[in-house]
Structure 1
Amino acid sequence: MPKNLKDHTYLPSQGLDDEFVEMCQALASQALADPDSRPRLVMGSKTIDLPPQVAEILGQVVAAMCDGLAVTVAPQTRELSTQQAADLLGISRPTLVRLLEEGEIPFMKARRHRRVMLADILEFQKRQRHQADQALADIVADAQAYGDYDHPNR
């Protein structure tokens, strides 16, 4: 990774004027809703066509900041150490190593060091979220079937 790329958190301005917020929200929703339009970045006399993925990212950043949320940009290499992968998942390194050894997440071994691809970590994270969502839906369905939602004082 180039040395000049560093993590940085951007805070929304305290006094975003209403017109700017409305414009940002309209642009963000249009960028996310219209995949056929080719977004462009204009800086002075230069115009750059943006790939749809970049427009989606910018739309999400603008939407988050308009909602008063801070946004962190954290460049990542495509190949992670076990510690970097564990930090990304919010788990301990030994837990990650156990998941690797159990075959839950693919990895490569360079001598005695394990390396994990960022795409594999993100895919695992997506699977975990899906499983958690499914488990919650099952709990809610069971509770509804037993009538637990029928009693407001419980």
Structure 2
Amino acid sequence: MCHGQTVTLIPDNLAITTQRAADILGISRPFFIKQLESGLMAHHRIGNQRRVYLRDVMDFAKKRDKERLAALDMLARDAFEAGLYERNVFPEGGMDE
């Protein structure tokens, strides 16, 4: 707040729709529903609609991002150890940006 950024407080048990959760995660709703049915995260029903807790969606997003970064680090390390970065050569007259 002291840096002029907004702060939003949300209840710990806020239930959101599968469409909102899919939007937050950047995936399609049908794919998200298939993931829910496979046990990706806990969900409950209100009538015929599924709901998930926002905290579960945010925890999943953090876990997914951490796994992605670890995989990218591993790929970069493997490429470096294999000497792939040493093979990069600039074309005649080319320069690094």
- Taking structure 1 as the reference length, the TM-score comes to 0.50
Match of 1:133 in 2: 69
Q: Aligned to 2:85, what secondary structure does the other structure show?
A: helix
**Which structure has the highest helix share of the two?**
1
Mapped partners of 1:145, 1:121: distance in 2 = 36
Higher normalized contact order (CA 8 Å, seq sep 6+, divided by chain length): 2
Mapped partners of 1:82, 1:75: distance in 2 = 21
Mapped partners of 2:89, 2:34: distance in 1 = 43
Match of 2:95 in 1: none
Mapped partners of 1:137, 1:96: distance in 2 = 27
Q: What fraction of aligned residue pairs are identical, expressed as a percent?
A: 32
Q: Aligned to 1:106, what secondary structure does the other structure show?
A: coil
Mapped partners of 1:98, 1:153: distance in 2 = 45
For structure 1, the 5+ residue unaligned runs are 1-57, 65-70
Query: How far did 1:129 drift?
Result: 0.2
For structure 2, the 5+ residue unaligned runs are 91-97
Q: Tell me how many residue pairs correspond in the alignment.
A: 88
Stretches (4+) displaced over 2 A? 73-77
Query: How far did 1:74 drift?
Result: 7.4
Mapped partners of 1:74, 1:153: distance in 2 = 49
> What's the CA shift string for 1:24-82, capped at 9, x where partnerless?
xxxxxxxxxxxxxxxxxxxxxxxxxxxxxxxxxx25x53x7xxxxxx7x7786711011
Match of 1:88 in 2: 24
* Larger displacement relative to structure 2 (140-149 or 77-86): 77-86
Mapped partners of 1:93, 1:76: distance in 2 = 23
**Is 2:53 the counterpart of 1:117?**
yes
Mapped partners of 2:21, 2:57: distance in 1 = 7
Once superposed, what is the RMSD of the aligned Cα atoms? Answer: 2.3
> What's the CA shift string for 1:120-144, capped at 9, x where partnerless?
0000100110111011011011101
Query: How far did 1:102 drift?
Result: 1.2
Selected match of 1:150 from 83, 86, 89: 86
